[in-house]
Amino acid sequence: MSNEHKQAPQDQVEEVVETEASQGEAALVDELTQANFRIEELEQALAEAQSAAKEERDAALRAVAEMENIRRRAAMDVEKAHKFALEKFANELLPVIDNMERALVGSVEDDAARAVIEGVELTLKTLMTAVGKFGIAQVDPVGEAFNPEQHQAIGMQPSSEHPANTVMLVMQKGYLLNDRLLRPAMVMVSQG
């Protein structure tokens, strides 16, 4: 056999190898393209999942904050209900206290009347101690500066004894229930 004939199958083998190599390269390029496309799909799905997870986390945090706010408001409402549940009852007691204080005004010469007055004084003192235990406090502002948040001015009078805007006289004492105004004190205020 001549060298030419031996060369020909060799050329054919090289051609086949080259053809298979280029087909392999094309298949490899095709696989890489599909892999890149799949990676892009997965990256997009991951971004969407992360976004959804962030939205869910934000919603959960808002829900927890809202529950905490509701719990805090409910606790404040319960506290206020406990503190001010006596408000209506206390308002009904104030005229009784006022009447007892009016009964003590004036001087009495009679021994029997003096005994009754002492009894009223003791009863009033006991009543004030009892209501004090429940957060009711008297506002008796004689000599204090006029405070429109706690005092109701009935009138103003010129006075050389008191500085301007000072409570000179209390016509009716005011009351607080746990530091909240139940009834303002009715007062006469000095003019400057």
Q: pTM for this structure? A: 0.59
Pick the CATH number of 86-191 from 3.20.20.10, 2.30.22.10, 1.10.357.10, 2.30.30.110: 2.30.22.10
Tokens matching residue 160: 């050389």
Query: Residues 142-169: pLDDT tens digits?
Result: 989 999 999 999 999 998 888 899 999 9
- What's the mean pLDDT in 92-107? 89
Whether the per-residue pLDDT at 106 is higher than 80: the answer is no
For the cut 70, the answer to whether the pLDDT of residue 7 exceeds it is: no
* Domain range summary for the chain, segments of one domain joined by +: 1-85, 86-191
Give the pLDDT band (50/70/90) at residue 41.
Answer: very high
pLDDT of residue 154: 94
Residue 187: phi, psi to the nearest 5?
-135, 160
Looking at the chain, the whole-number percentage of residues with pLDDT higher than 70 is: 88
